[in-house]
Amino acid sequence: MKKRIYNKIIMLTILVVISIITLLFFNLLSGKVKAQDSAPKVKYFKSIEIMEDDTLWSIAECHISIQYSSMQDYIEEVKKINNIKGDRIHQGCYLTVPYYEK
């Protein structure tokens, strides 16, 4: 009788361990699939013409992406790329702006 209970406990333990290993395996596998889906995006640059009433802020609103932690970070990068010291931009001029794609 004790041997039968002992065997059932052993079998139950083995099933639990196999279940845990299986769950861990599928979690790791699904994590790799998610990592591939969110593959790093590549930064590109394009030139845009500054239109009437455009500001660095309005341009940033149109072109910012999730790779930037804030609007100010994006604006600072645009200013650096275009060697802009202040905040003034002029209609008819061109700006190089960064953007991301997969």
Model pLDDT for residues 54-93, shown as the tens digit of each residue = 999 999 999 998 999 999 999 999 999 999 999 999 999 9
**Sign of the alpha-carbon dihedral angle for 59, 70, 100, 78:** positive
Task: State the pLDDT confidence band at 53, using cuts at 50, 70 and 90.
Answer: very high
CATH 3.10.350 fits 42-101, yes or no: yes
DSSP conformation letters of 20-41: HHHHHHHHHHHHHHHHHHTPPP
What is the C-alpha separation between 102 and 65, in angstroms, rounded?
Answer: 12
Tokens in use for 23? 């769950």
Among 87, 98, 21, CA closest to 63: 98
Tokens in use for 41? 């995006």
Structural domain boundaries of the chain? 1-39, 42-101
